[in-house]
Amino acid sequence: MIEIKEVSYSYDYKEDTFSNLSLSIKTGEFWGVLGKNGAGKSTLLDLITGFKAPTNGMISINGKDTIGADRSFQKSISYISQDIEFDSGRTIEELLNFHAPFFETYSVEKEKELLDYMELDKSKKVEELSLGQRKKIQIVAGIASCTDFILIDEVTAVLDPEARHKFFNLLDSLKKEGKGIVLATNISEDLETRVDNVLLIKNDSHKVVSPDKIKGFFNINE
């Protein structure tokens, strides 16, 4: 379980990005985080992964505090992010071989299956790939790590329609396997028919709603 208890966070003592945020994310649940650019979606995932520490409150993963000295909780999480970049001179195979030892649960068999499914040639160098193909490498690495939770930050927008379809099929399968999934996005259609709960972040406030309540979240006039 990811347990978030009365968490607040602010940058350099400015107004809080979050204030008294509390929620529990269990394995087998698919959560969406929806908000405009700059609303704090990426910040929330950075807090969950322990890359940032809350100003107040605490976050624990499988009972371990994310700001404690014991960082073993990170082995329970895969993080797929728009902000992660790769060494352009490396091949896909080299990147995956570097990543795998960090996770005792990493499956080479799953990796091979995913490379084929996402149509990636592991001999290709990163510099030869489009942005969408580079994100596919993260998808392969994240899912092949076989962790309890998968956190995804704004990657769906750079995938072509076929790759998006395949990615969401993978997420559906992971949910059925009992994995916990958190998808942060500013595309409400990513969440409407897929997730169990949505954390809405807007104007420095937040609330949890069911996915059928998110239509009209963005004020778009035709």
CATH number for the domain harbouring residue 82? 3.40.50.300
Asked whether residue 51 is domain-assigned, the answer is yes
CA-based nearest residue to 191, from 34, 78, 81, 38:
34
DSSP 8-state code for residue 159: S
Q: Is residue 168 part of a domain?
A: yes
pLDDT tens, position by position, for the chain (222 residues)? 899 999 988 876 566 677 889 999 999 999 999 988 888 889 999 999 988 889 889 999 988 888 877 788 888 999 998 888 888 889 999 999 999 999 999 999 999 999 999 999 999 999 999 999 999 999 999 999 999 999 999 888 889 999 999 999 999 999 999 999 999 998 888 898 899 999 998 866 788 989 888 877 776 544
Question: Does 108 reside within a domain?
Answer: no
What number of CA atoms fall less than 13 Å from residue 31's CA on the CB side?
23
Name residue 214's amino acid.
Answer: I
Asked if the structure places residue 185 within a domain, the reply is: yes
Nearest to 35 by CA among 190, 146, 171: 190
In a domain, residue 158? The reply is yes
Quote the number of domains for the chain: 1
Q: Strand, helix or coil at 13?
A: coil
CA distance 95 to 90: 7
pTM given for the model = 0.90
Q: DSSP of 79-141, one letter per residue?
A: EEETT----TTSBHHHHHHHHGGG-TT--HHHHHHHHHHTT--TTSBGGGS-HHHHHHHHHHH
d(CA 202, CA 17): 10
In a domain, 83, yes or no: yes
Decide: 150 and 181 in contact? Cβ < 8 Å: yes
Asked whether residue 95 is assigned to any structural domain, the reply reads no
Residue 138 resides in a domain: no
User: What's the number of CA atoms in the CB half-sphere (13 Å) around residue 18?
Assistant: 29
CA dihedral angle for residue 209, residue 213, residue 214, residue 216, rounded to 10 degrees: -140
Look up the domain containing 62 and give its range: 2-87+151-213
Residue with tokens 């392969």: 140
